[in-house]
Chain A
């Protein structure tokens, strides 16, 4: 290819410089790299710097060393937020993985009405979350909840003794987890579908010829092939869940008070940094998510390398 290009007679123009692959590549890549560095790398560095200062509303703060971290580390509100985030992430992701695996497998086959069912399943992910949460808020309404109407009419609860979905501490956590699971599940289905459709048909044929059926086939053929797909879905799921704020903030704002049973790292950082105006402390709280993220990234890299080899 290079020889051909060199042999071709050509007039000298300034655009000729683009004929060198290295030059063209750099020209095409650098705007994106510069942009990402400036708008992701910059703020990330700024977040780290702010976390060591006592900045309140602007960028001017005094260096206070590890003071913010030390104070938050001993703060029960922060400790609870970390624990809640952990529960929120682990429980919702466990349900999502199992559900998405089941749905994606069922959707691989063709059957009448598949399009509409797939449409219904993807709705929670495709619809803007802050808007679909309005439906949940209405369904969790204290007096006119459709869920409670059903419970009362099924004679499971008395009209004045119905569950308060967002006001009872444990129930509030359950509701937040349920809604977040509802939202992430379709996304995991999409990832599973992507992964499953990349498994060649021959694998199943080969397994059939070798006489692998039922449980054996599931255990030694299907499951190992799911593992990388499940990993990707899980990694995304962890990032989207641990760092999500919209669901919790709109539904409970970290409440209900006084127990604040749904306070997450994100809402706590937001309340501290933005609502109470301690940017430095807020930044130090949100940075707690960074190690989690680093672990996820390492997993992702490991995965990328592994698929490249095979």
Chain B
């Protein structure tokens, strides 16, 4: 009992300080987002908390009424949805086939697909830039729909392969003995129980779209085609002065839901990863 108590105390002692340091920038984000602008340029007001004129919605209201932020959110959602759809269409069948059907060749193909995930986007960036420009796709968010699946498909295939391996073969055999074709077994038995795995891939792909910066930054310059990540960085500066309050609101809005989703699905993510890599 005493030992268990000591172990718990040790966990807090290790995790606690790390959690404070890692979450600190987000704390600053929240305080700045709802702080009156004159207060965060006033060194007599503590930056750790609100002053007399805070909290305020002024920064949030500025962001939504005087910038193109809503458009960037919408663009990000559209590109995200398209990329997720393409990723699922390609990665779900491939992941299943690699897990079940292809045998030894499948093993090497699986590792091969996974390795392409390790080819850094920055290396592919220059040729993509040349091609996108040649195809006159610059300045359109559709260029991103074309490019992003090149990083989501390999990793998603790998993750799904891990998930499909955890589904007992006997379940499929039973369906086949009952007379279902392979295709039917797939759509009626395998896919429905793989929904958690598929959702994990959806979250992974979508968050990658929201996260990506370099391609979105270079390919697109008109404000109304920008993504959240790039618009906030390039457009929220008035004169020489960044709109820090509005920028922090803009950063918080996508971050919090993504972080919550990530946390909820972390255990599934770990399971998928384990299925693929550690077994």
Chain A contacts to B: CB under 8 angstroms: 1, 4-5, 8, 15, 18-19, 21-22, 24-29, 31-33, 35-36, 39-44, 46-47, 50, 55, 57-59, 99, 102-103, 105-107, 109, 111, 114-115, 117-139, 144, 146, 149, 159, 182, 185-186, 190-191, 193-195, 197-198, 228-229, 232, 235, 239, 242-246, 249-250, 266, 269-270, 273-274, 279, 282-283, 286-287, 289-290, 293, 296-297, 300-301, 304, 307
Q: Which of A18, A31, A47 contacts B123 (CB 8 A)?
A: A47
Tell whether B82 is near chain A: CB-to-CB under 8 Å: no
Quick one: which of B11, B28, B123, B210 contacts A135, CB cutoff 8 A?
Answer: B28
- In the complex, besides A122-B263, A130-B229, 17 extra interface pairs with C-beta distance below 8 angstroms are A22-B101, A25-B97, A35-B90, A42-B127, A46-B131, A58-B133, A58-B134, A102-B14, A109-B8, A111-B8, A114-B15, A124-B25, A137-B242, A198-B274, A246-B213, A250-B233, A270-B122
A-B contact pairs, 20 of them (CB 8 A): A15-B183, A28-B97, A28-B101, A29-B93, A99-B18, A115-B263, A117-B16, A123-B255, A134-B247, A134-B248, A144-B41, A144-B47, A182-B25, A239-B118, A239-B120, A274-B218, A286-B123, A286-B125, A301-B115, A304-B111
Contact of A107 among B15, B93, B176 (CB under 8 A): B15
* Chain B residue at minimal CB-CB distance from A238: B118
CB contact under 8 A between A123 and B26, given known A198-B278, A246-B213, A304-B111: yes
Closest to B10 in A: A106
- Report whether over half of chain B's contact residues are helix, strand or loop; otherwise say mixed: helix
Would A29 and B98 count as touching, CB distance under 8 A? Answer: yes
Binding site for A on B (CB under 8 A): 7-8, 10-12, 14-16, 18-23, 25-26, 28-29, 32, 40-41, 43, 46-48, 89-91, 93-94, 96-98, 100-102, 106, 109, 111, 113-116, 118-131, 133-134, 146-147, 149-150, 153-154, 157, 173, 176-177, 179, 181-183, 207, 210-211, 213-214, 218, 228-230, 232-233, 242, 244, 247-248, 250-251, 254-255, 258-263, 266, 269-270, 273-274, 277-279
CA distance A309 to B241 in the complex (A): 59
A32 lies within 8 A of B90 (CB): yes
Contact B40 A144 (CB under 8 A): yes
Residue in A26, A198, A239 with the greatest tally of chain B CB atoms within 10 Å: A198
A117 touching B19 in the complex, CB below 8 Å, given contacts A18-B181, A29-B93, A32-B94: yes
Contact A186 B101 (CB under 8 A): no
Contacts of A293 in B (CB 8 A): 118-120, 123
Interface SS of chain A: helix
B20 contacts across to A, CB distance below 8 A: 120
Q: Which of A39, A128, A131 sits near B150, CB closer than 8 Å?
A: A39
- B123 touching A289 by the CB < 8 A rule? yes
Q: Which of B15, B25, B157 contacts A106 (CB 8 A)?
A: B15
